[in-house]
Amino acid sequence: MYARRRHAYFFLMGACLTLFISAWAFVRLWSVPAAVAMCIVAMVIPPLAAIVANRRGPDDRWWDESGDEESDRWWRELDEHNHRH
């Protein structure tokens, strides 16, 4: 799960940089309003990338962070069983 979120984050941030750099390197030569619009879109991407990167997946165990030894053992056993199938 973590790798998928990390890849999504880097993809979004790469798109942000691509939009920003291309807006002022190339697009401004043809249309300054289009370059400004591209920068506005690029400005919205980093917060979305942070949300995507920090979102918990369906397999993440966030509800059981009590530190209870028996509960942790039970969850490890359940995780091992689910990964075998």
Ordered per-residue pLDDT tens for the chain, 85 residues: 577 888 999 999 999 999 999 999 999 999 999 999 999 999 999 999 999 888 877 666 665 566 677 777 877 787 776 666 5
Residue 76 domain flag: no
Residue 39 tokens read as: 């920068």
Nearest to 5 by CA among 49, 64, 45: 49
Total number of domains in the chain: 1
Residue 31 domain flag: yes
| Rounded Cα gap, residues 61 and 42, in angstroms | 33
**pLDDT tens-digit map of 9-26:** 999 999 999 999 999 999
Residue 69 domain flag: no
Residue 61 domain flag: no
Residue 74 domain flag: no
Helical axes 32-54 vs 2-22, angle rounded to 10°: 170
| Rounded Cα gap, residues 85 and 50, in angstroms | 32
Please report the pLDDT score of residue 54 as a whole number: 85
Residue 1 domain flag: yes
62 contacts: CB under 8 Å, gap ≥ 6: 56
40: domain range?
A: 1-52
Sequence letter at residue 35: A
Please report the pLDDT score of residue 60 as a whole number: 67
Residue 35 domain flag: yes
Residue 46 domain flag: yes
